[in-house]
Amino acid sequence: MSNVQGYFDPRFESVRDIFAAQQQDPQARGSALCVTIGGETVLDLWQGVVDKDNQQVWEQDSLVNVFSCTKPLGAVAILQQVEAGKLGLDTPLADVWPEFAQAGKAQITLRQVLSHQSGLSAVTETLPPEALFDWNVMSSALAAQRPWWAPGEAHGYAPVTYAWLVGEPLRRVSDTRPGQYIQEHICRPLGMDFFVGVPDQDLPRLAHLSRLRNQYGDEYARALFASMGKPEGMGFKAFGNPSSMMVSSNERHWQQAEILSANGTGNARSLARFWQVLAHGGKLGEAHLLDSELVDEMRREHVQGMDRTLLAPTRFGLGVMLEQPYEGGGFGMGPQAYGHPGAGGCLGFCDPETQVGFGYVTNAMGPYVLMDPRALALSREVYQCLRSVD
């Protein structure tokens, strides 16, 4: 267990032991865990390696792509614009993005986009690989896209298109590139070592991503992967159009793009810090993310039921997943917990009841749709420790 670095409160030693035991898996590479309770950090741990040759150890300041754990930062960024009165949750998005009104989208609202009800989970037209890294091409493709279903009548997760559905309105009302906005208004004020678009000088700190072999996930993962085998279907296009979505995560143009749905790069400490503030209703000490009324709206259930993209039952607030109604789909804490997993196993969330902020990251990607069993084992043990203290 000597491989584990960092700090742990003795009350949570069993969590540290589980974290260390996970490194015994022959396919394990690197990971980090950070947990806050109230204003206090009780776990800040890291272990393993960052490079593909397993030679370079994971350091205190190593960074990794956290995929969809980025989405709540985009949600907070656009909700800050709502707080400032620059756009409304329930007014047409086309008010600030006129081109968006075409193809039956004139009445789609920011609320529908944030809760995955807009019917814009994927772009139908096959786009060239380089389109993913051209902001204007992606924004224009979504402006032209006809919804896959009548907006508001169902929900289907938007794994990648969310970046432009949220980011283009953000860019227009803030007059700032989305990655820059998130850096200036969320990451820097909170002291988060986190980027949506990694600067040149920070690229050497990035961990190399790899996939766990011979693991097939649960029934929902298998159904999703089967749907992705149909090239004209929404599942395939949501995750694979442009095709560069599936193959670029270790490449510099992905690492430095500003895809606020999927390419946030940071560490467990940064995720825990973000969620620590939200666990306290959006304000903690000098840190202010959002007014508590908007945080309450963010974590209120907006949709629940079978997700047309993920082919699993999901519950969403605004830009966040809520506790899910099936075994292994939730956060492993109280029923009010909310946050977001990232492809491959990363997880960031809070539980307002216990005032927990939680961040877990790894560069060994598993095949699960929502929660990864590694992160879930850790969060469940944190909860057990809290209950035994009480």
Label residue 258 exposed, middle or buried (CB < 10 Å: 0-12, 13-18, 19+).
buried
Give the pLDDT score at 216.
Answer: 62
Q: In 91-118, which positions are buried (b, 16+ CB within 10 angstroms) versus exposed (e)?
A: ebbbbbbeebbeeebeebbbbbbbbbbb
Q: Is the pLDDT of residue 185 over 90?
A: yes
| Alpha carbon distance 371, 221 (integer Å) | 11
Q: Is the pLDDT of residue 215 over 70?
A: no
Q: Is the pLDDT of residue 389 over 80?
A: no
State whether CATH 3.40.710.10 applies to domain 5-67+199-217+263-389: yes
Lowest mean pLDDT among 149-158, 241-250, 265-274: 241-250
Lowest mean pLDDT among 186-195, 286-295, 321-330: 321-330
In this prediction, residue 1 has a pLDDT band, given cuts at 50, 70 and 90, of: very low
